[in-house]
Amino acid sequence: MLPGVCLIFFKVIKMKIRSIFFIFLLTIANLSLLHSQTNMKGEKESVDTSKQYTKYIVRPKYPINLAFHYMYTDNTKFEQILSDSTIRQFERNIIYYFTLYSPGNIKDGFTTLRVSIDSLEYTYKSGIDSIYYNSQSDSLLPPFNIKDFDISSVILGKNFDFIYSPYWDIGKIEESGEGNVIEKRRFINDPVMGIDDPYRKYLWNFQLSDENLGYTVDLLKGIIPIHSIDTNMVRIVPIRFAVENLSFLADSAKVKLITANSNKYVLRADFNHFVPLKKEVVIPEFLTFVNFEGITGDGSYILTLTPQGRVDSGELKLKLNLQFRDRKEIINEKIEKHSIWQLLDNYKI
């Protein structure tokens, strides 16, 4: 081969090597960008790019005028420990039955659900005392002398519209056509006819707040993915809670699609870091506002829906350690909560 031809040959080889190296670097950069991608909802996604996984679109669907009747069972074990070692304990089991349906088409991505809290069953145990009430029984009188029941029953019989955002986040509450929530809020806070006791007023307002009503009837809990996902992907999302008249945020819940088949999709969220959202709160047995100092613990939430979009169930487990301050008094609380939302029936209306 002539010297000039050899020189051209080696230059061509050198340019190809540089091009291949550049493409390699660009591929690595793109993979790195994909791995740390954050979507519009603020979810961080972790993806294993070494394998190909089947993608699934996980979406709820609420057809117009198709009613969904749910049973929400909530078991709470509560312990309060004062600085002098005084211990107060109770266990509550409460069942709410509620119905929701979509009265119209999705508008600008927002889904409106019309909700009614139909009935409740209530059991309360403290020491040797035990109380049971069923709102569907004509022979039982409501135990309004029990402060816990007075608060727990506030939402019974209430009607309201519950609105999801385009991202299926917990939405706001509005008055429905036959609603009474907004009217009740006005009555509670009326300067003449409203509730005088500031602590009872706080508790009633909390029970009828957007956050508590939303928490009670919302099975999605903000964990529905915006884009298609696979069973290898872990998403980091915030979840809001309204528990025992307290508001707090699990700011880094890890969400994964743990089951995907022709019968059901199952999403699981695990969380162990919480942030209080209300600083001045009311807690059991304290007729004053106390400071919400901190919260630790862990929990999980499992959501089950069908590939067609019917939301069948949700299950929450929480173990929390909470600390409050009343001037120099430090109050510690332990809360164990097991909640189940279960679809009982769906029918045309």
Region 308-328 average pLDDT:
97
Domain boundaries, the chain: 3-35, 66-348
Residue-level pLDDT at 42 = 52
Is 66-348 a domain of CATH 2.30.230?
Answer: yes
What angle is formed at CA 259 by the lines to CA 297 and CA 63, rounded to 5 degrees?
Answer: 100
Q: Which tokens is 101 given?
A: 């349906």
Tens digit of pLDDT for each residue in 125-155?
Answer: 999 889 999 999 999 999 999 999 999 999 9
DSSP assignment letter at 140: P
Region 2-15 average pLDDT:
42
**Length of the chain measured in residues:** 349
Return phi, psi of residue 265, to 5°. Answer: -115, 135
Between 277 and 33, where is the model more confident? 277
Residue-level pLDDT at 45 = 57
Tens digit of pLDDT for each residue in 65-79?
Answer: 999 999 999 999 999
Residue-level pLDDT at 178 = 64
Q: Which tokens is 329 given?
A: 């008094």
Cα–Cα distance, 190 to 192 (Å, whole number)? 6
The answer, yes or no, to whether residue 294 has pLDDT greater than 90, is yes
The answer, yes or no, to whether residue 167 has pLDDT greater than 50, is yes
The whole-model pTM stands at 0.85
